[in-house]
Chain A
């Protein structure tokens, strides 16, 4: 029974601009495109998901912030309209999401057993955050794979980065336990931007790519340094540098998704596949995959372990 496994993990950033640039029917504002490099990166990630055929997608987003513990969506289905509070001109999206409540509850329980404060979100009128929705849409626009949605407990900001990332490490390990016991094949999504310095004015139109470039050199240089280490599989070094990266590049990975995901995958020193990199209003975004099936660490769909 206990035959579940994590088959792949992605850094899957959530700028709503990517949804806006794609023009899916669910999003009310329409664009003439833009941010193609990142959208093509997501096309490659989508192809990987198609091949992997996961039973469940788990997503950790920095835009569902909780101050008491780690929360998990615990209702079967949510639908409604999500409007981005920062970019309401770009993202007004009609979502319809099915959740894997059984696995959410298992993650919640394993977290509790590991000493974390955890809580199920049972309110049927709850609105998932736009980060979760954007990441899910960009990775699987068919919306046909059930989801486990996890909040970002704000300890990295409220206490210290070290304590906060320690919490995320424990959450990742608990998530792994739950997945192993579930018998399911899971993909993890760390919904995080890398360098987070951004412009304070939006071009007109927002998709004018002649205005899109890294906000500053320090952010860009850090992104390239971290991505190169990831591509080489030097993940120990990535994690050693992470606090400095967060400080100097104002990186959104501070919110914990990246640490959660790698802890759940047991910090594999595996070369990552970079599906692509691009900036969004100056911030650095990479779609990066650690495919454990390709690495021989997990089985293909339909093959017993």
Chain B
């Protein structure tokens, strides 16, 4: 098995910009903890997919060796900045692009100064301490026209391509759970999953992940995306499923809670 660890983490900047809010800090702490687990699994590279990096034409892969900048979130600009310094394994990213093309998926690289790296990729790299010179990343975009099945296929293709080079891979899907949010200002202390039904759906899907019952999980996923208004159809989880060839033994939910009304969890998969 060339996948050595797999994680689902939220891409919201709030836990990182406002760690003074207790409930949000718990996400940051959980992400830092799973970052340690990730590094302990001794991967050569970390394969990331973030729902917030939108692609429309081709599947875009980050092919810049070092991305160094300061990011301001378009929603949460008042809470400050997210500096980042992300190192990419460019050879592997280019290999993924070639592999996409060979499979009939239009793909290209992004190697530009000031390219707008999305908030999710940034917070995942920062909190899990990946994308370093010692532990570079390969980052794939979320093509808005890809469905869940296409996302699984993309992940499988990337894993096959990187495995062929003899590399050990940690994989991360960056995104939230239920998607309803507060649309007016709320006191962060009062934060909760805004809809009870979505909270229930989130808990059910997380418990199915913990159980490792993939068949039941797959059945539940069909309705989950809709009922919970899951972020981007929960494609970041399908990314993980695709990377893991549809198998994992169970999962540890390191934290579950609300981020401005949406549901979010930090999950480590047992593989």
Q: List A residues at the B interface (Cβ < 8 Å).
A: 64-69, 71, 80-83, 85-89, 92, 117, 119, 121-123, 125-127, 129, 151, 155, 158, 198-202, 281
Do B114 and A85 touch (CB < 8 A)? no
A167 to chain B: closest residue by CB: B183
Of all chain A residues, the one with the shortest Cβ separation from B262 is A67
Q: Name the B residues within 8 Å of A83 (CB-CB).
A: 112-116
Are B54 and A125 in contact, with the CB atoms below 8 A? no
The 3 lowest CB-CB distance pairs between A and B, nearest first, are A81-B114, A123-B77, A126-B72
B70 within 8 A of A: yes
| B192 CB to nearest A CB, Å | 16
A9 to chain B, nearest CB (A): 25
Interface bits B174-194 vs A (CB < 8 Å: 1, else 0): 000000011111000000000
Nearest chain A CB to B181's CB is how many angstroms away? 6
**Chain A residues near B184 (CB, 8 Å)?**
68-69, 117
| B81 interface residue per 8 A CB criterion | yes
Complex-state Cα separation, A155 to B181, whole angstroms: 11
Q: Is the CB of B116 within 8 A of A200?
A: no
Interface SS of A by simple majority:
loop
Give me 21 A-to-B residue pairs in the complex whose CB atoms sit less than 8 angstroms apart, sorted by A's number.
A66-B75, A67-B75, A68-B75, A68-B183, A68-B185, A69-B184, A80-B114, A85-B53, A85-B115, A86-B54, A86-B56, A122-B77, A123-B77, A123-B78, A125-B72, A126-B72, A151-B74, A155-B183, A158-B181, A200-B57, A200-B145
Interface magnitude class on chain B:
20 to 34
From B57, B72, B112, B182, contact of A123 by CB (8 A): B72
B183 adjacent to A86 (CB under 8 Å) = no
| Contact present for A126 and B112 (CB under 8 Å) | no
Query: B116 touching A127 by the CB < 8 A rule?
Result: yes
CA–CA, A281 and B78, complex, Å = 36
Q: Which of B54, B77, B113 interacts with A126 by CB under 8 Å?
A: B77
- Partner-A contacts on B (CB < 8 A): 53-58, 70, 72, 74-75, 77-78, 80-81, 106, 108, 110, 112-116, 145, 181-185, 260
Residues B72 and A64 in contact, CB atoms below 8 Å apart: no
B53 to A, closest residue via Cβ: A85
Residues of B within 8 A of A87 (CB): 57
With both beta carbons as reference points, the residue of chain B lying nearest to A158 in the complex is identified as B183
B residues near A68, Cβ cutoff 8 Å? 75, 181-185, 260
Instruction: Give every chain A residue within 8 A of B116 (Cβ-Cβ).
Output: 83, 85, 127
Quick one: closest B residue to A92, CB to CB?
B112
**Min CB gap B178→A, angstroms:** 13
Chain B residues, Cβ within 8 Å of A158 = 181, 183
Q: Among A82, A83, A88, A198, find the residue whose CB has the most chain B CB atoms closer than 10 A.
A: A88
Cα separation A35 to B113 with both chains bound (whole Å): 26
Q: Are A202 and B185 in contact (CB under 8 A)?
A: no
Question: CA of A122 to CA of B55 in the docked complex: distance in angstroms?
Answer: 28
Residues of B within 8 A of A123 (CB): 72, 77-78, 80-81
Interface centre among B58, B74, B115 (most CB of A within 10 A): B74
Q: Could you tell me the distance between the alpha carbons of A216 and B113 in the complex, rounded to whole angstroms?
A: 35
Complex Cα distance A122/B78, Å? 7
Report B-chain residues with C-beta under 8 Å of the C-beta of A88.
Answer: 110, 112, 115
**For the complex, what is the distance from the CA of A82 to the CA of B108, rounded to whole Å?**
19
Give Cα A129 to B113, complex, Å.
16
Q: How far is the CA of A69 from the CA of B74 in the complex (A)?
A: 12
Inter-chain contact B74/A200, CB cutoff 8 Å: no
Contact of B55 among A86, A119, A201, A281 (CB under 8 A): A86
* Partner of B113 from A81, A89, A151, A198 at Cβ < 8 Å: A81
A64→B184 CA distance, assembly (Å): 18
Q: Which residue of B lies closest to A94 (CB)?
A: B114
Contact in complex: A64, B74 (CB < 8 Å): yes
> Within 8 Å CB of B181, what residues of A?
67-68, 158
A127 — which chain B residues lie within 8 A by C-beta?
A: 72, 116
B74 touching A65, Cβ below 8 Å: yes
When distances are taken between beta carbons in the complex, the residues of chain A under 8 Å from B72 are 123, 125-127
Q: Does A67 lie within 8 Å of B183, measured CB to CB? A: yes
> Which B residues are CB-close (under 8 A) to A121?
77-78
Least distance between A75 CB and chain B CB atoms (Å):
10
Q: A198 CA to B183 CA in the complex, in Å?
A: 31
Most buried by B among A87, A117, A127, A199: A127
Please name 12 further chain A to chain B contacts, defined as beta carbons within 8 Å, in addition to the given A83-B116, A155-B183, sorted by A numbering. A65-B75, A85-B54, A117-B184, A117-B185, A121-B78, A123-B77, A123-B81, A198-B56, A200-B56, A200-B106, A200-B145, A201-B57
Q: Which residues of A contact B106 (CB under 8 A)?
A: 200-201
Which of the residues A126, A129, A202 comes within 8 Å of B57, measured between beta carbons?
A: A202
B residues less than 8 Å from A200 (CB atoms) = 56-57, 106, 145
Complex: chain B residue closest to A202, CB-CB: B57
Q: In the complex, A129→B116 CA distance in Å?
A: 10
Q: Which residue of A lies closest to B113 (CB)?
A: A81
B115 contacts which chain A residues (CB < 8 A)? 83, 85, 88
